[in-house]
Amino acid sequence: MSLAARLGVFVLGSMTPMFAFASEERGRPLHFDEVLESVNAHDPRIREAVAKLRKAESKTLASRGAFDPRLEGEGKLVTGAYYDLRSADVELRQPTTVWGSEIYVGYRVGLGVNERWPTYRDDQTLSGGEVRAGIEVPIWRGGLVDPERAERARAMRIEEAADQALSATRLNLELAAARTYWNWVGSGQNREVAKALLDLAEQRDSQLKRRFSAGSIAEFDVLDNERILLERRAWLVAAERAFEKATFELSLFFRDANGAPLVVGPQRVPERVEAAPIDALAVERSVEQVLMCHPEVGKARAELEAVEVDQRLRRNEVAPELKAIFEYSRDLGDLTDTDLDFTLPGNVFEAGVKLSMPLILRKERGKAGAARAQVAEKEAQLSFVSDQLRARTRDAASAVEAAQQRVALTDEVVDTAAELAEGERRRFEVGSSNLVFVNLREQQAAMARMRYIEAVAAAEIERIRWETTTSVQCDRASR
């Protein structure tokens, strides 16, 4: 057996599993919409982004807890000294978001153990106790912003950033899935082209051997066709491997109902592919819409607003703490017949201020400087994201138009190359050509078909890139 024949047997043996894989019956074609539906339903990266959003929502809920009403109470018995006292005090406080103020209502009762004698203590009341209501208002520090309101505002901005990140993840995965899907379609169709090209050489091999046996051609033509067979078998091996690789990559986006990756066979590759036409592109208007509404911009903007909250808080913490207190109280019940009864009945109004101010403020000034630097960092990030999206939008418009033109041109080349290959085969059959030209024409026809498939895949990818970049809404994405 010649070296060429042994090499042919080896190549055929190594390709047996691939040919068995390719012999499956053709089923329902797998379309991109089915892949995209699987991505949105089962992709772990979307589940991860959803989990981050739920985490941010929980932190927002926790930050609102600082404004929950709280009930405080105290009871005591003072005895063993000259003046005894039994007392109870309960108070309901409600922090508000209005200038950091806090309102409260309370009730207390304080009576001596021996009700005939005064206690000379501040918490003595009439027999019915005392009701009170008041409000505490920060005048300087804590007025415009305080830690509780800052935490709530920061959590809301971080939640918004997580929501926008989820939308951006969906868009990015749609584009990644499109690239993977069309690479799978292209490699699957290239595999069919390689098979068809090999079939032509195998059919011609039988014809040439019959003609050689009849003495109408030289052995040289038979050997040359065997060389062509080996080349095309090697080409098919490469095409099979490219398709298998694309299939495994597609399984990361196409999953079953349980979220497990699905490995689809060649029987689901669409037989025909066409580039969907697109309308005229309003590029500059789309750029404005993208810069205003794209989730990547929204995420960067929300992160900037979150650190701006920190900056306002740190700036406010440098100011002195000056708080105003207003309170109304009234004792209820009967007189206790003690010497202090005349001081307790009637309405009591109280107003006061409280001042607290650190002297050096190194801690507060350091935090304020760090907050300013963080704001500058996020502003730079937002600016760069905007620049990126502006360039990406214009590039997507240019790419999709060029891809559409390329599809139209390569489509014309496919038919022309196929006609030339068929004509060259007829000329060879009547002895007016040779295998060199036949092989060249067939390879040109195959390459034209592959370039058309590549052009269609590129056009679809660029169309989806344009849509995922520009089809954005300014309202919050649905979760």
13-17, 159-163, 174-178: least confidently modelled range: 13-17
DSSP bridge partners of 173: none
pLDDT band at 212 (very low <50, low <70, confident <90, very high): confident
State how far the Cα of 235 lies from the Cα of 188, in Å rounded to an integer.
14
pLDDT band at 275 (very low <50, low <70, confident <90, very high): confident
Over range 430-446, report the average pLDDT: 87
pLDDT band at 477 (very low <50, low <70, confident <90, very high): very low
DSSP bridge partners of 353: 324
State how far the Cα of 27 lies from the Cα of 262, in Å rounded to an integer.
15
Per-residue pLDDT tens over the stretch 113-122? 665 565 556 6
206-210, 327-331, 408-412: least confidently modelled range: 206-210
pLDDT recorded at residue 432: 82
State how far the Cα of 479 lies from the Cα of 475, in Å rounded to an integer.
12
Per-residue pLDDT tens over the stretch 152-172? 999 999 999 999 999 999 999
State how far the Cα of 324 lies from the Cα of 138, in Å rounded to an integer.
6
pLDDT recorded at residue 144: 86
pLDDT band at 94 (very low <50, low <70, confident <90, very high): very high
Q: Average per-residue pLDDT in the chain?
A: 86
pLDDT at 3 over 60: no
DSSP bridge partners of 103: 94, 135
State how far the Cα of 329 lies from the Cα of 335, in Å rounded to an integer.
17
pLDDT recorded at residue 453: 94
State how far the Cα of 150 lies from the Cα of 107, in Å rounded to an integer.
32
Q: Token pair for residue 357?
A: 């101010």
pLDDT at 19 over 60: no
pLDDT at 234 over 80: yes
Over range 54-61, report the average pLDDT: 95
Q: Burial, 68: exposed, middle or buried (Cβ in 10 Å; 0-12, 13-18, 19+)?
A: exposed
Q: Are 117 and 83 in contact (CB under 8 A)?
A: yes
Q: Token pair for residue 157?
A: 């901005």
For the chain, residues classed under CATH 1.20.1600.10 are: 3-62+149-305+371-470
pLDDT recorded at residue 356: 82
pLDDT at 476 over 80: no
pLDDT recorded at residue 343: 57
pLDDT recorded at residue 333: 77
CATH among 3.40.50.1820, 1.10.3210.10, 1.20.140.10, 1.20.1600.10 for 3-62+149-305+371-470: 1.20.1600.10
pLDDT recorded at residue 63: 92
Reduced 3-state DSSP string for the chain: CCHHHHHHHHHHHHCHHHHHHHCCCCCCCCCHHHHHHHHHHHCHHHHHHHHHHHHHHHHHHHHHHHHCCEEEEEEEEECCCCCCEEEEEEEEEEECCCCCCEEEEEEEEEECCCCCCCCCCCCCCCCCCEEEEEEEEECCCCCCCCHHHHHHHHHHHHHHHHHHHHHHHHHHHHHHHHHHHHHHHHHHHHHHHHHHHHHHHHHHHHHHHHHHHHCCCCHHHHHHHHHHHHHHHHHHHHHHHHHHHHHHHHCCCCECCCCCECCCCHHHCCCCCCCCCCCCCCHHHHHHHHHHHCHHHHHHHHHHHHHHHHHHHHHHHCCCEEEEEEEEEEECCCCCCCCCHHHCCCEEEEEEEEEECCCCCHHHHHHHHHHHHHHHHHHHHHHHHHHHHHHHHHHHHHHHHHHHHHHHHHHHHHHHHHHHHHHHHHHHHCCCCCHHHHHHHHHHHHHHHHHHHHHHHHHHHHHHHHHHHHCCCCCCCCC
pLDDT at 478 over 50: no
Phi, psi of 292 (to 5 degrees): -90, -35
Per-residue pLDDT tens over the stretch 280-292? 788 889 999 999 9
pLDDT recorded at residue 292: 93
pLDDT band at 340 (very low <50, low <70, confident <90, very high): low
Choose between 460 and 478: higher pLDDT.
460
DSSP bridge partners of 108: 89, 130
162-171, 224-233, 238-247, 293-302: least confidently modelled range: 224-233
